[in-house]
């Protein structure tokens, strides 16, 4: 896969996620905290979940890029495990429900619009990291992952995982808004 093309795609998705989050700031906290059902997350719970992942992955990615030498390698080859995780998390027309790690589950927390502001800041950080990644070797550099101290993913796989995970939950937020709109009709 071409490094520039991959990073450009991830940048575009991140910009869309950031723009959507900025639009959510116009909604009331009551609407943002409304959960469609007892076993579903509210909009702010979806965003806080992404913030919790961002708190782990953004420093990890930044550290990896900071240690990297400049690279002319323009191709990225996904690893077996990384490719598996990316395919698992990528948004699909019919999303499969996934169990969330307890430490990454925001259910029941008292949340404010500050969650959105944190998410927007994290998206700005991610955009900066995606820009810096244009001169790094996305295949050779590896990052830790949140679910295991022992496993590492290629930087390109980690970037894809983070961006597609964000996109997946932003789609979940859109569905929550659509359900609420239908309920009001």
pTM score, whole prediction: 0.91
Q: Give the pLDDT of residue 8.
A: 97
Q: Give the pLDDT of residue 96.
A: 65
Break the chain into its structural domains and give their ranges.
3-24+40-184
DSSP per residue, the chain: -BHHHHHHHHHHHHHHHHHHHHHHTTS-HHHHH--SSTTS--HHHHHHHHHHHHHHHHHHHHHHHHHPPP----B----HHHHHHHHHHS--SSPPP-PPPGGG--TT----THHHHHHHHHHHHHHHHHHHGGGS-TTT-EEEETTEEEEEEEHHHHHHHHHHHHHHHHHHHHHHHHHHHHHH-
Q: Give the pLDDT of residue 149.
A: 80
Q: Give the pLDDT of residue 183.
A: 59
pLDDT per residue as tens, the chain (185 positions)? 899 999 999 999 999 999 999 999 999 999 999 888 888 899 999 999 999 999 999 999 999 999 988 887 889 999 998 999 899 888 877 666 767 766 676 787 889 999 999 999 999 999 999 999 999 999 999 999 887 788 899 999 999 999 999 999 999 999 999 886 665 54
């Amino acid at each position: 896969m071409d490094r520039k093309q991959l990073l450009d795609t991830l940048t575009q998705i991140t910009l869309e996620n950031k723009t959507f989050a900025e639009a959510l700031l116009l909604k009331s906290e009551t609407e943002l905290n409304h959960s469609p059902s007892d076993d579903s997350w509210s909009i702010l719970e979806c965003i806080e979940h992404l913030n919790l992942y961002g708190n782990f992955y953004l420093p990890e990615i930044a550290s990896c890029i900071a240690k990297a030498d400049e690279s002319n390698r323009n191709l990225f080859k996904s690893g077996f495990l990384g490719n598996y995780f990316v395919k698992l998390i990528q948004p699909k027309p019919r999303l499969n429900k996934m169990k969330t790690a307890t430490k990454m589950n925001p259910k029941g927390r008292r949340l404010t619009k500050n969650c959105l502001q944190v998410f927007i800041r994290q998206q700005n950080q991610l955009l900066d990291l995606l820009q810096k990644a244009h001169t790094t070797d996305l295949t050779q550099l590896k990052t830790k992952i949140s679910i295991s101290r022992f496993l590492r993913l290629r930087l390109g796989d980690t970037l894809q995982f983070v961006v597609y995970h964000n996109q997946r939950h932003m789609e979940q937020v859109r569905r929550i808004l659509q359900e609420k709109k239908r309920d009001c009709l």
